[in-house]
Amino acid sequence: MTPEKSSGGLTEYIVHHLTHNVVQVNGDGFHFDSWVIALAVGLLGCFLLWTQARKATAGVPSKPQALVEMVVEFVDSQVKDTFHGDRRFIAPLALTIFVWVFFMNAMDLLPLDMVSSAITATAGPEAAHHTYFRMVPTADINTTFAMSISVFLLIIFYSIKAKGGWGLTKELFTAPFHAHGTFAKIILAIPNLFLNLVEYLSKPVSLGMRLFGNMYAGELVFMLISGLFLSKWTFAFGVAFHSMWAIFHILIILLQAFIFMVLTVVYLAMAHEHH
């Protein structure tokens, strides 16, 4: 589907590429494209790490093995500098987040009309016009919030593990405004609870919205470039602009994976600390 072939022009082209493939299950719909791509790249990341771990030797490593070792050491150093408790779970979690988010973000570098072109070649343009499939799971707010909510549950778990159920409850009502008298503690209980709830809830919101916003904006720029430069007269300009944006977007892809990983470790470290 191209802007020239669609009656709505550029607007319909962008709307088509922003529409998810929704599957209905028991009356509820979920984004099948985000789910299947996230699952596929997650399994791919696990497979690549597993294959290189099996080949690990004491001798000179191969280039893929050296790259994997460099990533593992980099992530482990970040966790070591931030989280000062038992890292046996946190370090693998951080590595999983970094690799998974990077692979999901990297799907934005694939040709935008790859799926539409494949469907057009096999089933015709009419089938492609009515088929929706988005390739970037992290440009779907459902994916990023699912990940951030999982991190939020881990924050609650580590808070209870470090402080106990009563300790966490007491902290919610007695910090950050501390008081010594009983009456003052009662007066400050509601403001303390409100501020703590805002602090806790802002963490998954900021994690999910930051990743979604950056990847959605990057995907939209690719769509605008494709929509504006798909004619035969402007195709060369489209290739040039796509290449420039893709080179810059690689930095965004890496940076967003790194930020999501680091903030996850920081939030878990904060939850692990005693107050």
Q: Which residues are catalytic?
A: 206, 210, 214
**DSSP tag of 22:** E
C-beta of residue 135 within 8 angstroms of C-beta of residue 107: yes
Evaluate whether 129 touches 120 at the Cβ level (below 8 Å). no
What are the φ/ψ torsions at residue 85 (nearest 5 degrees)? -100, -150
User: How many angstroms separate the CA atoms of 48 and 101, rounded?
Assistant: 15
Alpha carbon distances (Å) from 59 to 34, 53, 54: 40, 14, 14
Q: Following DSSP, what letter does each residue of 51-70 receive, concatenated?
A: HHHHT--SSPPPHHHHHHHH
Q: Closest Cα partner for 225 from 16, 14, 19?
A: 14
* 266: its two tokens: 């920081």
3-state SS class at 141: helix
Contact 10, 227 (CB under 8 A): yes
Question: What secondary structure does DSSP assign to 84-99, as a single string?
Answer: -S--TTHHHHHHHHHH
Q: How far is residue 271's CA from residue 275's CA, in Å, rounded to a whole number? A: 10
Q: How far apart (Å, rounded) are the C-alpha atoms in residues 39 and 19? A: 19
